């Protein structure tokens, strides 16, 4: 299927590794121009050398001044952008046992910068009738325990997706959200490796995923993002999409 994304300029926050890197590759495969924002310049450089196209800007996404200055640089050096993917975030384990200051820090890590990036790029998106894709987490729906900050942030992302879809509909800007659940990434594999029996732990999780009893791949998340960002999804906005093998909403007691 031709997605008509050639030459589209795409911002991907946290695009240097994990799901973000897969999103970068998937856009590049469609002829789009990825622009990576994040704190890993060496990893971003290596990724861009691999795919042969794109840009990267090194910044701390919790620093609002750095965000504003980076947006200005992108405007001056590259021009207007067409697509914004708010992907960066971290499950930092901030819980009710932590002081409120840590909760605020978690919101800064996971919720404030998507708002800031959307705010500073909104003129571009309106001008180009572009789109925003937010990356959430199943934790916003299911809870996880001991992760109040991350759960609140991702719940906020889901709510902002629909709020912004309403705000921007009259400007032709679409806003949608993709919700990963159990996705195999290097970070997830590192977490599994700390278990007493990593293979058993992995198999137990896979047994809870109704479709094919396997983890979602980062490429499957990325392809969903790219399709939603494309003109092939031209009348889709305000939607929260779960490419998760049925993990979030189907009965996990089900066994094949």
Catalytic machinery residues: 150
Nearest to 171 by CA among 127, 210, 221, 108: 127
CB atoms within 10 A of CB 65: 9
Name every residue whose Cβ is closer than 8 Å to that of residue 114 and which is 6 or more positions away in sequence: 13, 86, 134, 157, 160
| CA–CA dist 200, 166 (Å, integer) | 45
CB atoms within 10 A of CB 38: 22
Which three-class secondary structure state does DSSP give residue 48? helix
C-alpha to C-alpha distances, 28 to 11, 12, 24, 36, 47, nearest whole angstrom: 12, 12, 6, 12, 11
Name every residue whose Cβ is closer than 8 Å to that of residue 116 and which is 6 or more positions away in sequence: 64, 67, 68
Residues forming a β-bridge with 34? 10
Both tokens assigned to 48: 């861009």
């Amino acid at each position: 299927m031709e997605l008509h994304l050639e030459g589209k300029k795409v911002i991907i926050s946290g695009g240097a590794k994990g799901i973000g890197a897969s999103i970068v590759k998937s856009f590049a495969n469609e002829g789009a121009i990825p622009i990576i924002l994040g704190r890993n310049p060496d990893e971003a450089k290596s990724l861009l050398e691999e795919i042969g196209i794109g840009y990267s800007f090194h910044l701390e996404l919790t620093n609002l001044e750095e965000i504003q200055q980076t947006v200005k640089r992108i405007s001056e050096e590259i021009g207007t952008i067409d697509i914004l993917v708010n992907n960066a975030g971290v499950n930092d384990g901030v819980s009710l046992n932590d002081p409120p200051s840590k909760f605020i820090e978690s919101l800064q890590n996971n919720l404030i910068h998507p708002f800031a990036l959307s705010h500073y790029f909104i003129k571009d998106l309106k001008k180009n009738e572009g789109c925003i894709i937010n990356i959430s987490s199943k934790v916003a729906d299911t809870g996880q325990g001991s992760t109040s900050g991350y759960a609140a942030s991702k719940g906020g992302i889901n709510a902002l997706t629909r709020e912004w879809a309403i705000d921007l509909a009259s400007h032709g800007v679409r806003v949608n959200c993709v919700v990963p659940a159990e996705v195999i990434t290097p970070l997830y594999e590192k977490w599994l490796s700390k278990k007493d029996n990593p293979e058993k732990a992995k198999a137990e999780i896979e047994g809870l995923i109704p479709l094919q009893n396997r983890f979602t791949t980062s490429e499957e998340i990325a392809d969903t993002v790219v399709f939603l960002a494309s003109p092939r999804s031209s009348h889709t906005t305000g939607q929260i999409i779960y490419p998760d093998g049925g993990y979030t909403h189907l009965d996990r007691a089900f066994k094949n």
